[in-house]
Amino acid sequence: MNSNINQNRRNNPNKVEEKKSIFAPNKLVAIVFYLLGILLLGTVFIIICGAIAGSVSGAGSGRIIELIMDSSKLDTMTNLETNAYYSAQGFGNALTYIFMAIGVIFFMRDEFINDFNSLKENKKFYAIYIPCAAILFAGLAIVISIIFGKIAGSSENQNTIELMMKYSGAAPMIFATILLAPVVEESIFRKCIFYYGRNIPVWISYAVSALLFTLPHMLSSDISNFGNWALLCIPYLLDALLLCTVYHLSKKNIYSVICAHMLNNIIAVILVFI
């Protein structure tokens, strides 16, 4: 038996080495990169950018960091401090998404390659499906956002994004929102969750994906008024379920759902400036 194993190693040296390599494709490592960005590095990058923005603008590094750490003081900001604060938020968030995107794309590169090959093998299907699904999703998502915006208002996450785009944090935030967020979020919340849920009923993958997609977007919202907080969750839950549907019906091709997510974010960004 040992001789057979040794023979296989000689015949497939690269395969054995790839299994041992810490740089081999690994969805769990990609998830770790996402969690590090969301739970730790996001705050670190924003604080660093706050110190730089405060120093460059003359608003004061200490003052901007203080505002970042204690959002209850935002009402006391001067115009100079407001611009520096949202600039720090924009650049900090962009750096966070760059970090996550690098980790996710690198450690899930096999999935991106396989799904790209699938696009080439099924050109007619995807040439019709991807634009139609993207347009339909974006349209429904905007309608959902408008309806629930009138009922419950906007989440703190959405308000912060809009304010970043209206100040000097606009350029990095638009870059992260349109290009990086869809790649990172669809890789984690659709590709990974549906992969690990492949042996259970698909509706469970839908539910888990929707819940896990919603929670990071609601971390900054006040939960003390639970009724309103729950209402603010609904648009994210519905968007996630629609994205799950786009992904599922596309034969689980990551590019279809990334395109749908990107189109929605492009329209959302445009609406901010109208």
Span 100-154, pLDDT tens digits:
999 999 999 999 999 999 999 999 999 999 999 999 999 999 999 989 888 877 7
Model pLDDT for residues 141-194, shown as the tens digit of each residue = 999 998 988 887 777 788 888 888 888 778 898 999 999 999 999 999 999 999
| Model confidence, pTM | 0.88
As a whole number of angstroms, the distance between CA 171 and CA 94 comes to 9
Nearest to 87 by CA among 100, 62, 101, 68: 68
Domain extent, residue 140, equals 2-273
Say whether 218 sits in a helix, a strand or coil. Answer: coil
**Res 104: pLDDT:** 97
Number of domains in the chain: 1
CB-side neighbour CA atoms (13 Å) of 243: 37
Q: Which of 97-101, 149-153, 219-223 has the lowest mean pLDDT?
A: 219-223
d(CA 48, CA 218): 23
Residue 120's pLDDT is: 95
pLDDT > 70 in the chain, percent: 93
Residue 231 has pLDDT above 80, yes or no: yes
Residue 10 has pLDDT above 60, yes or no: no
Can you give the pLDDT at residue 12?
A: 53
Query: What's residue 46's pLDDT?
Result: 94
CA 217 to chain centre: 9
Q: Which residues contact 31 (CB under 8 A, 6 or more apart)?
A: 188, 192
Please tell me the distance from the alpha carbon of residue 231 to that of residue 60, in angstroms, as a whole number: 38
Which positions ≥6 away from 74 have C-beta within 8 Å?
67, 85
Q: Directed axis angle between helix 254-273 and helix 109-121, to 10°?
A: 100
21/13 Cα distance (integer angstroms): 12
Q: Which tens digits make up the pLDDT trace of 13-24? A: 454 444 568 899
d(CA 252, CA 16): 28
Across 238-265, average pLDDT: 97
Phi, psi values for residue 174, rounded to 5°: -65, -40
Residue 48 exposed, middle or buried by CB count within 10 Å (0-12, 13-18, 19+): middle
